[in-house]
Amino acid sequence: MAGKEKRLRINARWCKGCGICVAFCPRQVLSLVKDKVRIQSPEKCIRCGMCEMRCPDYAIWLEDIDETEENYG
């Protein structure tokens, strides 16, 4: 059985713009724009979870992709 696909999610309201997640991302997927984290290169993301582990505000995480959501929008 294959593992579930994951996607990177951000809650900008919780982000304080510290840049820790940006610094720990091994693929330079993230950047700070107007003091908030943004996903700049989603195709580069390897879903390692370093950003999620390091974020002190729980503003970024990997989420399971729900197959029904993918099929129905």
Class of domain 6-72: alpha beta
Task: Assess whether pLDDT exceeds 90 at residue 2.
Answer: no
How many Cα atoms within 13 Å fall on the side-chain side of residue 38?
Answer: 8
pLDDT in tens, 43-61: 999 999 999 999 999 999 9
Instruction: Spell out the domain ranges in the chain.
Output: 6-72
- Tokens representing 51 are 């950003």
Whether this prediction's pTM lies above 0.85 is answered by no
6 membership: H or E segment, kind and range:
strand 6-10
